[in-house]
Structure 1
Amino acid sequence: MARKPTLDFLKTEAASGSALALAAIAALLVANSPWSADYFAWLKSYHVLQLGPIRLEETISDWIKEGLMAIFFLVVGLEIKYEIVRGELSDPRKLATPVLAALGGMAGPAAVYLFLSMTMGAPHAGWPIPLATDIAFALAIFGFVGKGLPSSLRVFLLTLAIVDDLGAIALIALLFSEGANWTPLFWALGLLAAFGLIAHRIRVPTPFWVLGFSAVWYLTILSGLSTSLTAVAFAMIVPIQARKEDRQSPLKEAMHDLHPWNAFLVLPLFAFAKAGVSFAGLSLEQAFAPLVVAIALGLFFGKQIGVFGAAWLASALRIGARPTDASWLQVYGISLLCGVGFTMSLFIGVLAFPGAVDSPEQVEVKLGVIGGSILSAVGAAVVLGLAGRRPRRDPAAADPQIEPLAGSSS
């Protein structure tokens, strides 16, 4: 029996957490070693891609941000489409609680950051940074401490993180894609529409998918928009229905083929490029700068307050319910876990404060993201570890609102 795409996704993303952690640690070690100057010089070095008349010249840092990260957003887009059409997000009763929790998990960090911005003087532009949850790290930590916890918590976390990613992508579109060049953008949209129409009528070989994605990506670069947008849009045109001559649909095949590359190459490279912080000459004042504190507390306090508060409110208002067989302490542990915002938070930080990778703002962004993510990870591990050892009670008896959600399928 073939494994479900979501299960494959969980296993791949959980396993990639170790690769992400190793890449981040390696970046910190190199940035504080005798090779520090070479590391930062490599990130700032320009490299040219030229195919006939097509020429792009970007730094290594930008190639990773706009090039490789487009693959990450393509994978996220494929997962979003699958969940909307076939998975958890297709059932409104299962969708309500994690969606509301995700929205609360974006509002909470924004409120904490903006409050600290007014009271401490943190740069206003940084408020979107603590809004994101890192799927790979969160699932990896859940895998380490999740023994004895109900499987519904894993689905709740995944669904919440997918909606969170969708919100982060929307923020990138609204805040960081200004000054578009409309001509290549219209060409990109036209190519997307034409390719989607063709793909749903005839079988498109893999090389043409690669060529189509590359063309849309190039036109997006010319338009001045973030490549994350068209990467997700491209995922939406990939057919989810398998043809008679195929064993699985193009969407499932793409998810299966891209996940290992995304998990063990793209994200670790991004972590290695963005997590390098040199502590040489770092003063106590910079380590606790307003930007650092606002990001760290936004992730740690804002996420747990927003996610848990929205989930509890959804249950209290009978809009949604707790995950099946889960206690509120376990849901609180997941809320803490959502404060791990490593990859996407660093990505938004690059967009919010463009400049050199070792600029003061980028150093403070990295310190805040790393600090807030570590606090959230440790707190979540402790709470979920304790919650997993607690004897389970009958959830229906403890929470009468569970039945409508839990009983949606059998």
Structure 2
Amino acid sequence: MRVLAALNNSDSAPGVFLMVAALAALIVANSPLGEGYHALLEIHAAGLSVEEWINDGVMALFFLTVGLEVKREFAVGQLNRWSLRVLPGLAAAGGVVVPALIYVALNAHSAEGLHGWAIPTATDIAFALGVLALAGPRVPLSLKVLLTAIAVIDDLIAVVIIAFFYTAHIEMLYLGLAAVITLTLVALNRLGVVKLTPYLLLGVVLWWLVLKSGVHATLAGVVLALTIPLQGNKVSRQVRPLETLEHGLAPWVGFLVIPLFGFANAGVSLAGLNVEILTQPVLMGVALALFFGKQLGIFATIRLCALTGIAPRPEGASWWQVYALAVLCGIGFTMSLFVNLLAFDHPELQQYARLGVFIGSLLSGVLGWGLLRFFSRRSAVEH
């Protein structure tokens, strides 16, 4: 029981579970079990395949958690004032724009390839915090705070991108009904209803309507999250409904939802992998955008903010440690794989993009960990 409690309270544990799930998927997909692995994902139930239930259904809980975290951070957390939002906000923007430009430059000749421009958008917070924890206790707390804030903001940017750029066809009737449910949720909030049950029941209806509307169903999780009350009332014993739901979902999302998604989507066949495939534009675009684009966009923005006086360097951190943090932000596993599914219909392009995500994330994780460990140790010796 103590081990389970320790895992539940560890920021790095979900990242470790995700790493194990992704590695397991790679091993299974490249073993004699590979055919059965893919066949299992194609089994249909209630109109959706197992893979679709995971990506469109179960992942709604992940997006619900993202929405809850964004709302809490902006209301009472590390982003509750504009002065605290400036540095991570600008850094996150730099970490979205530069990777997108690199990807577009490498895929400008292909209209279909350009659809993947948003794949290297967001940092995988579970993976990145896991690697940050592995770098040791000497890493300044300010870096963890900044990394979390950047990841929260670029997750929010990714959600907006999905809503506006990856919705192919809209059924207005279902979208209108979804809007009615959303207004009902807002009304419950305004009326002071703090019990979670009506919100969650309406959230299930909202998910189904959004799924039928053509907008990606997981966005219903974000919409629901934004309507959950932050504060309770004096009569109710449930003081903070939002935090109650967030804490209740966290272990399920960290130890089941995200690893399950990773296992279902990381099963890339490495058969026939060669230099020619590694130079394929989609693969190169994703890998280089994550590895070079993220670190360049984020570090250059933080450096510029310090030089212009917009925001100071994170307290207690050297510039080398800040650079290592920027490198770690190139770990874009969960959201990158998710956007990949929306960006491409062609299985071959999805395969190339997955390989690009693996390569870019692996390089970012290894280099970021090495730099953080080395320069944090050296900083401790100097002081």
Same fold (TM over 0.5): yes
Q: Match for 2:362 among 366, 374, 382?
A: 374
Compared with structure 1, are the counterparts of its residues 365 and 113 closer, same or farther at alpha carbon in structure 2 (3 Å cutoff)? same
1:325 to 310, 316, 325: 316
For 2:180, the equivalent position in structure 1 comes to 190
Match for residue 344 of structure 2? 353
1:306 equivalenced with 2:294 (yes/no): no
2:252 pairs, out of 252, 261, 267, with 261
Please, which of 51, 58, 64 is the counterpart of residue 74 of structure 1? 64
Residues 97 and 322 of structure 1 are in contact (CA less than 8 Å); yes or no, is this contact kept in structure 2? Answer: no
Matching of residues 8-407 of structure 1 within 5 Å: 11=9, 13-48=11-46, 57-118=47-108, 123-244=113-234, 245-355=236-346, 359-391=347-379
Q: CA shift at 1:44, angstroms?
A: 1.6
Contact 1:12 1:263 (C-alpha < 8 Å) held by counterparts: no
For 2:177 and 2:289, how far apart are their aligned partners in 1?
Answer: 39
Moved more, 165-174 or 119-128: 119-128
CA RMSD of aligned residues (A): 2.2
Q: Which moved more, 1:279-288 or 1:380-389?
A: 279-288
The range that moved more, 325-334 or 366-375, is 325-334
Secondary structure at the aligned position of 1:240 is classed as: coil
Between the two proteins, the alignment pairs up a number of residues equal to 377
Deviations 1:151-191 (A, max 9, x none): 11111000000110011111101111132111111211221
Distance of aligned partners of 1:47 and 1:120 in 2 relative to their CA distance in 1, 3 Å threshold: closer
Cα contact 1:289–1:364 (8 A) shared by 2: yes
Query: Deviation of residue 114 (structure 1)?
Result: 1.5
For 2:3, the equivalent position in structure 1 comes to none
Within 2, Cα distance between the matches of 1:339 and 1:10?
25
Give 1:283 shift.
4.1
Where 1:371 maps in the other structure, the secondary structure is: helix
Report the Cα distance in structure 2 between the residues aligned to 1:241 and 1:113, rounded to whole angstroms. Answer: 42
For residue 389 of structure 1, give the secondary structure of its aligned residue in structure 2.
helix
Instruction: For residue 60 of structure 1, report the CA deviation from its aligned partner.
Output: 1.3
CA distance in 2, matches of 1:67, 1:247: 28
**Does the C-alpha gap of structure 1 residues 122 and 368 become closer, same or farther in structure 2, counting only changes over 3 Å?**
farther
1:116 touches 1:122 (CA, 8 Å); kept in 2? no
Matched residues in 1 for 2:318 and 2:277: separation? Answer: 40
Q: Residue 331 and residue 393 in structure 1: after superposition, are their counterparts in 2 closer, same or farther (change >3 A)?
A: farther
The 2-side partners of 1:38 and 1:265 are apart by: 21
Give CA deviations for 1:308-365 in whole Å, capped at 9, x if unaligned: 011111111111121111111111011000000000000000100125xxx2112111
Between the two proteins, what is the percent identity of the paired residues?
40
Alignment check: 8 A CA contact 1:169 1:228 kept? no
How far residue 202 of structure 1 moved from its aligned partner, in angstroms, is 4.2
Listed one character per residue, the Cα deviations across residues 42-66 of structure 1 (whole Å, up to 9, x for unaligned) are 1122111xxxxxxxx1111111111
* Paired residues of 1:192 and 1:216 also in contact (CA < 8 A): yes
Q: Give the C-alpha shift of residue 122 in structure 1.
A: 8.7
TM superposition shift of 1:13: 4.4
Give, in whole Å, the separation in 1 of the partners of 2:18 and 2:189: 34
Say if 1:121 and 1:9 are closer, same or farther in 2 by CA, change over 3 A. farther
User: Where does structure 1 differ by over 3 angstroms across 4 or more consecutive aligned residues?
Assistant: 8-13, 118-122, 202-207, 281-284, 392-395
**SS of match in other structure, 1:131:** coil
Change (3 A) 1:206 1:238: closer
SS in structure 2 opposite 1:88? coil
Measure, in 2, the Cα distance between the counterparts of 1:10 and 1:327: 31
Q: State the match for 1:399 in structure 2.
A: none
Once residues 313 and 7 of structure 2 are traced to their aligned partners in structure 1, the CA distance between those partners, rounded to angstroms, is 23
SS at match of 1:130: coil
Deviation at 1:275, TM superposition (A): 0.3
Query: Relative to 1, partners in 2 of residues 1:227 and 1:360: Cα closer, same or farther, differing over 3 Å?
Result: same
TM-score by length of 2: 0.93
Instruction: Assess if the C-alpha contact under 8 Å between 1:121 and 1:290 holds in 2.
Output: no
Residue ranges of structure 1 left out of the alignment (5+ in a row): 1-7, 49-56, 396-410
**Does the aligned pair in 1 maintain the 2:8–2:251 contact within 8 Å?**
no
Q: 1:121: Cα distance to partner?
A: 9.6
CA–CA distance in structure 2, aligned partners of residues 168 and 9 of structure 1:
28
- In the aligned structure 1, how far is the partner of 2:7 from the partner of 2:113? 36
Question: How far 1:41 moved relative to its partner?
Answer: 0.9
Specify the code of the residue in structure 1 equivalent to 2:219: L
Tell me, yes or no, if the aligned pair for 1:94 and 1:320 is still in contact at 8 Å: no
Please report the TM-score for the alignment, with normalisation by the length of structure 1. 0.87
Equivalent residue letter for 1:83: E
Change in Cα spacing, 1:324 to 1:9, as seen in structure 2 (3 Å) is: farther
Using the TM superposition, name which of 239-248 and 74-83 deviates more. Answer: 239-248
